[in-house]
Structure formats: structure tokens, C-alpha cells
Amino acid sequence: MANPPSATPPGNLDPRCVPIKLDRPIPVGDEIQYPRYTAEEQAVWRDLYARQVDLLPGRAADEFLTGLNALDLARDRIPALADVSRKLEAATGWRVARTPGLLDAHDFFSHLARRVFPCTDYVRSRAELDYTPAPDCFHDIFGHTPMIMHPRFADFYQHIGEAALACKDAATEEGLTRIYWFTVEFGLVRNRGGLRIYGNGIISSYGEVLHSLTDQVTKLPFEPAVVAATPYDIWHFQDTLFIIESFDDLADRFENWVRRKIGRLAHAA
């Protein structure tokens, strides 16, 4: 699991959870160089991938599994961000940028608004296989990018970035952050086969996958005004989640909320 762009960690600060304010452009697409990963880092990716991909059938959304299959991510080594970027660009016009860590909210949303996904290229330690509070490339690549292969979700994700940049007050910005959290990171969707996970904060976390569809979680219909008023705690398993009926429904409801709270965005003008 990783923090949302505006999350504030508790007192004993993990430095990976401190937002970074960019002072220069970050590399995008083919500009991204492949790091010199250690054998242990590559092994952590292999173990994370093998365990998670076995867990997701019957739990992950059809749209996520379709995107994962289309991306054809390497299972035995950490994928090159430049390769992932080329596949996203061909499918939905998105590209990947290499970020040094958790970005400042404005920088993060500015990239989304340009259809650029900021992605880390370092992987968690073996001690954090089940859970990490910090972003890492397994969360970013395995968790996020398959859904960006879905055209309707890819547009929704860009519109979140545009809406964040257009926010005029702190209350609306906080409401938008909560919508981001309960959709992009922790969303559920009703597929033909039943309730499924599409939020990447769940999908990239072994523990959250097992927890999210149980009766321990209160599951509510997705209504942006309700979601925007619902606080969350990033340091524990989620006890409330919201269900969308489809990605068309998600996009339409979000657009209506944005028009009421922020106004008409440039893409809709």
C-alpha cells in the first residue's frame, strides 16, 4: 500500500513517506534508465508477483486482469519503466515518469493532468512483503498500470489530476483526495461474476486483498458526496470501501461532482 498524495504520516516519520517537491523535470518514457538492481531486489519482485497473481483470480476486477494480461509484465525481473511506458502510450496515450519517491500533491496531480504517471523504480524490502506504507515499484507497476490500460479509467485518472489543479478551497481539495483514495487506491466494482477489486492499494497488498471482500468491511454504494465526506486511515486495513457499478458510472458521477464543486474542466469545455 502507498500513501495518497496529500497524506501526512505520524510522528515516527518514514523518510520514504515525506512528499518530495520537484525542482527539475523527471525523466519520462524512453528517458528512464534501468537501475542496477541487486539479485535480492529481483527476487523480491518475483516473489511478490508470483504470490499476488495467484491470489487475484476471482478477487480482482476483470478490467484489471485484462490490463495485466495486455501489459505482459516480466515475472522474473523488475520491468523497465520505459517498456511499461511504451505499452501504456500505445493503449491509452499515457506515459510513465520515474519519480524519486512520494511526490508533493501539486507535482503529482500536474503529471496526472498531462497523462503522465509518476512511478518509483525501487522495490520494498523482504520484511515488507505483506505491507509497506511507502510507494514502491511493485505497488506502482503491478498495482496501478493495469488499470491505466483501461480507456475509461485512464480518462477518469487524468480528470482527477485536472480537478485537483482546479480546486479553489481546502475543503474541496480534501474531498477530492478522499475520492482518489476510495477509488484509485481502494475501489471495488461490481463485475458480472460478483464484487471485485480494482483499487491498486488493495491489489498490490496481500493482506488487503484477503481482508477487503470479507464481512469485516462495510461496503457502500459509490456516491461522490458521501465519499468526499468520509475520512480514512492509511496506517491500517480499511474498514469501509465503496462500490462502483461500472467505470462509465464512476466517470459520470465524478464529472457531476466536479461540476458542482469546482466547475467545468478544460477537457469538458
Beta bridge partners of 191: 194
Asked if residue 258 belongs to a domain, the reply is yes
Q: SS3 string of the chain? A: CCCCCCCCCCCCCCHHHCCECCCCCCCEHHHCCCCCCCHHHHHHHHHHHHHHHHHCCCCECHHHHHHHHHHCCCCCCCCCHHHHHHHHHHHHCCEEEECCCCECHHHHHHHHHCCEEEECCCCCCHHHCCCCCCCCHHHHHHHHHHHHCCHHHHHHHHHHHHHHHHCCCHHHHHHHHHHHHHHHHCEEEEECCEEEECCHHHHCCHHHHHHHCCCCCEEEECCHHHHHCCCCCCCCCCCEEEEECCHHHHHHHHHHHHHHHCCCCHHHC
Asked if residue 1 belongs to a domain, the reply is no
Asked if residue 10 belongs to a domain, the reply is no
pLDDT at 10 over 50: no
pTM of the model as a whole: 0.91
**Rounded Cα–Cα distance for residues 41 and 126 (Å):** 9
pLDDT value of residue 132 = 78
Residue whose cell numbers read 500536474: 110
pLDDT value of residue 7 = 46
pLDDT at 269 over 80: no
Asked if residue 229 belongs to a domain, the reply is yes
pLDDT at 44 over 70: yes
Range of the domain at 230: 15-268
Higher pLDDT, 264 or 93: 93
User: Which of 232, 225, 220, 203 has its CA nearest to residue 145?
Assistant: 203
pLDDT value of residue 266 = 58
Residue 265 pLDDT grade (very low, low, confident, very high; cuts 50, 70, 90): low
Known catalytic residues are 139, 144, 185, 204
**pLDDT-above-90 percentage for the chain:** 81
Q: What is the mean pLDDT of residues 56-75?
A: 97
Asked if residue 3 belongs to a domain, the reply is no
pLDDT value of residue 17 = 79
pLDDT at 5 over 70: no
**pLDDT-above-70 percentage for the chain:** 93
Read off the pLDDT of residues 101-116 as tens digits, 9 standing for 90 and up.
989 999 999 999 999 9
Q: What is the mean pLDDT of residues 190-201?
A: 96
Asked if residue 19 belongs to a domain, the reply is yes
pLDDT value of residue 9 = 45
Domain count, the chain: 1
pLDDT value of residue 13 = 63
Handedness of CA 204, 108, 116, 257 (dihedral sign): positive
Read off the pLDDT of residues 209-242 as tens digits, 9 standing for 90 and up.
999 999 999 999 999 999 999 999 877 889 999 9
**Rounded Cα–Cα distance for residues 181 and 186 (Å):** 6
pLDDT value of residue 161 = 96
Look up the CATH number of the domain holding residue 33: 1.10.800.10
pLDDT at 6 over 50: no
User: In the structure grid, which three cell numbers stand for residue 236, read together?
Assistant: 491500517
Contact by Cβ (8 Å): 44, 124 = yes
Read off the pLDDT of residues 119-166 as tens digits, 9 standing for 90 and up.
999 999 999 888 777 889 999 999 999 999 999 999 999 999 999 999
Asked if residue 5 belongs to a domain, the reply is no
Asked if residue 71 belongs to a domain, the reply is yes
